[in-house]
A and B are shown apart, each in its own frame.
Chain A
């Protein structure tokens, strides 16, 4: 449960963060023993430009076309899209997708190459921040901006 003071402060920052018209994405990773769980926050305003360039299918199918994971030597991980919900953060609308990334058999879920251009294939200034969850906090692991679409991820 949030502290009332923090809630009020976040409300204030939610208002003032609307002063930023180009919100970025955040992929929050949670490292488990044999899988990596991810929560992908994608701003609706920027996603709309990307979907206009690639409109086929629903959002889960679209994500599967643009998000992947693989071992350092190129073997694919299994990516499963779970629930998708709508949310708001800092005065912007987001789609929030739950992802499950599973390595090939026998490969530890600690080190992989993230492949992602879900928004960046279209929006040139857009940045995807990739973080590792630590309770309510996060550690920045790296970022992707066009033309980069591959990022090596190592569990902290």
Chain B
């Protein structure tokens, strides 16, 4: 099995996650290994990393904070949508350890675990799908848009095929989104350990969908073959495809009561708890400084009551086209089940968290 040994070695070398997924099996994401998402700490980690990079690497890492750079994330593999940024697979051990300190400063334990396991999943895929699609845990990238610090808005981007962290600091709003995450395979084995990178989120969404399934208005109309507010690819027959980045930003969202699911304010306490659990499972990835104000806005009693939850397909998320969505005054969270790519007889997840006010910190305009 071709696994990114460099990635595993990096984690052992860095010594920053004692129970790393790569070194010793899966971790509980509520451990102590994650950081606070504090801009000052992330900035310090960036300064250390920058001191270890050559000019070409620094050029790959640093970009202006503008529309074109901000929307340059995708849920498609590198072979379809090339990425910019500092490629993690190209870093030497010291650089990789320094990059790891950026991740530790920015991400919660859950966010670190997701990053590690999604990269491992991409490595796992290379064994089964040898097409030049760009699977590889090395094909994940780190970028900074603008100047890290306390003075001006800037963005941290960490991403690759099935992950896009887009955190904005010093913006009009705290910005944790757009945050795309997915996994293929849904579960996999590596060195005797089992991984299910989206287990918490898919379980929370399944419990929610199952609880509301009997309510007629909870079932959304139509068919879902992907997330609704994700990236899309276009192309002219006979020519190369284009797009695949967040060109649809800013998005429009449903309004009114029609076909949005069931209003949380009408649900009994136990089902409201399931909605809260599902929201928290998505907001668990950034450090607390980033996530806490957003979570507070989503769980504010008035906003929470005005949030809708709906589903399509199988509430158990056991079949393609199964879909669950949380659609509030600000929050937009969706998870869909698609056929797998490397093993088409299997399934894989795509999930997306957007904030209707603070995607990109409310800082970019088309």
Q: Which chain A residues have a beta carbon within 8 Å of chain B's beta carbons?
A: 2, 9-10, 12-13, 15-24, 26, 28, 41, 45-46, 49, 53, 87, 89-90, 96, 121-127, 129, 131, 136-138, 140, 143, 145-147
Q: Which residues of A contact B234 (CB under 8 A)?
A: 24, 26, 127, 129, 140
Q: Which residues of B contact A123 (CB under 8 A)?
A: 222-225
Nearest CB of B to A77, in Å = 24
B109-117, B195-203, B236-244: which one contacts chain A? Answer: B236-244
* Binary contact readout B305-342 vs A (1 if CB under 8 angstroms, 0 otherwise): 00000000000000000000000000000001011010
List the A residue with the shortest CB-CB distance to B254: A147
* Majority-rule SS of B interface residues: loop
Assembled-state Cα–Cα distance A46/B220 (Å): 18
Assembled-state Cα–Cα distance A147/B134 (Å): 34
Q: Which residues of B contact A45 (CB under 8 A)?
A: 225
List the A residue with the shortest CB-CB distance to B312: A124
Are the C-beta atoms of A18 and B224 separated by less than 8 Å?
no
Q: Which residues of A contact B222 (CB under 8 A)?
A: 121-124, 146
B195-251 at interface with A (beta carbon < 8 Å): 220, 222-228, 230, 232-241, 244, 248
Which of B230, B236, B239, B339 is the one whose CB lies under 8 Å from A125? B230
Chain A to chain B contacts (Cβ below 8 Å), 5 pairs = A16-B77, A22-B338, A26-B234, A124-B220, A124-B222
Are the C-beta atoms of A46 and B225 separated by less than 8 Å?
yes
Which of A10, A16, A49 is the one whose CB lies under 8 Å from B223? A49
Assembled-state Cα–Cα distance A143/B76 (Å): 20
Assembled-state Cα–Cα distance A140/B133 (Å): 26
List the B residue with the shortest CB-CB distance to A7: B238
Which of B132, B225, B239, B244 is the one whose CB lies under 8 Å from A126? B225
Q: Which chain B residues have a beta carbon within 8 Å of chain A's beta carbons?
A: 76-77, 79-80, 131-134, 220, 222-228, 230, 232-241, 244, 248, 254, 336, 338-339, 341
Are the C-beta atoms of A21 and B225 separated by less than 8 Å?
yes
Assembled-state Cα–Cα distance A138/B222 (Å): 30
Contact of A15 with B131 at beta-carbon distance under 8 Å, contacts A49-B223, A125-B230 already known: yes
Are the C-beta atoms of B238 and A26 separated by less than 8 Å?
no
Nearest CB of A to B74, in Å = 10
Assembled-state Cα–Cα distance A17/B243 (Å): 12
Are the C-beta atoms of B223 and A9 separated by less than 8 Å?
no
Q: Which residues of B contact A131 (CB under 8 A)?
A: 236
Are the C-beta atoms of B79 and A19 separated by less than 8 Å?
yes
Additional A-B contacts beyond A24-B234, A90-B235, A90-B241 (7; CB < 8 A): A15-B131, A19-B76, A19-B131, A123-B225, A124-B220, A124-B223, A125-B336
Are the C-beta atoms of A136 and B232 separated by less than 8 Å?
no
Are the C-beta atoms of B226 and A125 separated by less than 8 Å?
yes
Contact of A28 with B236 at beta-carbon distance under 8 Å, contacts A49-B225, A125-B224 already known: yes
List the A residue with the shortest CB-CB distance to B233: A20
